[in-house]
Structures are given as C-alpha cells and as structure tokens.
Amino acid sequence: MIVETLSTFPGMYDSVMGSSMMRIAQEKGIIEFRAHDLRDWTHDRHRTTDDDPYGGGAGLVMKCEPIFEAHDAIAACGPRPTTVFLAPCGRRFDDALACELAREEHLLFVCGHYEGIDERAYALADRTISLGDYVLTSGELASMVVIDAVVRKLPGVLGAATGALDESFSDGLLEHPQYTRPASFRGMEVPAVLLSGDHGAVARWRRERSLERTARLRPDLLGGAELSRADREFLQTLSKGASERP
C-alpha cells in the first residue's frame, strides 16, 4: 500500500511514522509512506497556502489552487490515489471504515489547518472522515490516527497473525480483559481459568467477559454486534442478575 499525506507541516509525521509498527511496516515493504509539503506547489516568494475568507470572519482559509496542483502531480506519479479529507462534516471514523481503507492500494490524506479548506478543494475528495465531534488544530493529527488504525490491519504488520482480529470492535464488541505475569500482584489475582490450560474454557471466559464489558460500558454496540444464541442467553442472565440486585 502507498500512503501519502499533503499538508503544510509534513515534519509532524517524522516521529509517528518513524516509530513502532509504522516504522516496521515500512521496513517490511508493506507500505510506502511519503509526506508532501503543500508549499512546494505555491508560486509566490512567501509560499502562501492560506488567505482571508471571503465574506469576512476570523481565521485563515487554505487555498484551493496548491491543493489541486499537488493532487494532480501526485496522481500523475502512480496509480490514482483514494483521496481522503479530514473534516468535521465527514463520516465518523470507526473500525469498519478502517477495514475499508485497508483494502485500498493508494491513500492520499489532505490535511487542513487554520480555519478550514476552501470548499472547492473537496471536489477532489473520495472520502471525507471525521474522528468525532470536536475540533483539532490540524488535520495532520487526525490523519495519523486513521493511518495507524488502517496500516495495523494490513497482513504482516502485527507480530501475531490474528493480532488485529481479536481487538475491540473487530466483532462489534469491546475486547475482553488481558493479563500477563505475575499471576498475583498486591492481592490482585489473574482469573484461574486463564491459568488452567483449558482452551475451550478460556475461549468461553473471554467471550463472556467481552459481552459483559460491552453491556456495561458500551451497550449501544450490542445492537450491531453478531451475537449467537449462547451470547444472547448470557446477556439475558446478566440483565436478570442486574435487575435482582437491590
């Protein structure tokens, strides 16, 4: 996969893309990453990428001309990218969308700054994504979150072959609790079933804890989760137990 970004602060990616799994993904040749400086497609001595908004108002708006020129140049160098804008008006980012993007061959993230981007630039967008109902200083930060969530789903990125399959939201539920050594710490014990060596019992425990945690912390997720008959019976038992408590 080719992952490219277009922004006025390309140096912001150095740490994130040069560390941990993002660095390893590049070393393995699973992704090619390039951060482009939007100022390279400006034509004045100040390398201007923003201007005052028409109609007045506070802040600056990113100009559309360098974005179009940069997009044309990047698209001409290889397969046409799926162009992603980060904006509050976009589709809410979630695990399902991360899976969709992980199937793309070439992603280009256009990152806004300041007050926003000239509306005409959105004609280039194949997808517009929002992380949530809040505002960040820059689209670079939002794109890093999306890139990380997408890249770690690519085959070979995580050490465990199924590492990305058993995480929270992969099946519509929150992940079960995790433990490692020591088995006992300050009076807190690892559940005995995890030390039993009974793989079937461990699998059942993990599923039930995932259901319990989701029902308690994110009950809204249950409506869209794939639940077996056993899952539903377990949830009914939980609900009955909760209703009987004083």
| Chain segment 92-109, per-residue pLDDT in tens | 999 999 999 999 999 999
159 located within any domain: no
Model confidence at 163: pLDDT above 60: no
The candidate with the shortest Cα–Cα distance to 174, out of 228, 211, 202, 146, is 211
**Are 110 and 121 a contacting pair, CB within 8 Å?**
yes
Q: Are residues 196 and 128 in the same domain?
A: no
Provide the percentage of residues in the chain whose pLDDT is more than 90.
84
Q: What is the pTM of this model?
A: 0.87
98 located within any domain: yes
73-85: average pLDDT:
94
**Is 13 labelled as part of a ligand binding site?**
no
Which of 151, 176, 205 is the last residue before a domain boundary?
A: 151
Tell me the C-alpha distance between 109 and 139, whole Å: 9
14 located within any domain: yes
The pLDDT of residue 165 is: 47
176 located within any domain: no
**Is 51 labelled as part of a ligand binding site?**
no
**Confidence category of residue 242, pLDDT binned at 50, 70, 90:** confident
**Are 116 and 63 a contacting pair, CB within 8 Å?**
no
User: Which residues constitute the domain of residue 98?
Assistant: 2-151
**Is 134 labelled as part of a ligand binding site?**
yes
196 located within any domain: yes
**Is 38 labelled as part of a ligand binding site?**
no
Does residue 192 come out as left (phi exceeding 0), alpha (psi in the -120 to 50 range) or beta? alpha
What does residue 127 show for φ and ψ, rounded to 5 degrees?
Answer: -145, 145
Q: Number of folded domains in the chain?
A: 2
**Is 197 labelled as part of a ligand binding site?**
no
Q: Are residues 27 and 146 in the same domain?
A: yes
Model confidence at 161: pLDDT above 90: no
Q: Are residues 121 and 234 in the same domain?
A: no
Model confidence at 194: pLDDT above 90: yes
Rounded mean pLDDT of the chain? Answer: 93
Q: Are residues 141 and 51 in the same domain?
A: yes
132-161: average pLDDT:
91
Q: Are residues 123 and 228 in the same domain?
A: no
**Confidence category of residue 162, pLDDT binned at 50, 70, 90:** very low
16 located within any domain: yes
**Is 132 labelled as part of a ligand binding site?**
yes
**Is 133 labelled as part of a ligand binding site?**
yes
- Pairing of the two strands 61-62 and 184-185: unpaired
Domain harbouring 232, CATH code: 1.10.1270.20
Model confidence at 200: pLDDT above 90: yes
**Model confidence pLDDT, tens digit, residues 210-228:** 999 999 999 999 999 999 9
**Confidence category of residue 166, pLDDT binned at 50, 70, 90:** low
The pLDDT of residue 113 is: 82
Beta bridge partners of 188: 185
For the chain, list the strands marked E by DSSP: 2-7, 32-37, 50-51, 61-62, 82-92, 106-110, 116-117, 127-130, 184-185, 188-189
The pLDDT of residue 246 is: 66
44 located within any domain: yes
Domain harbouring 99, CATH code: 3.40.1280.10
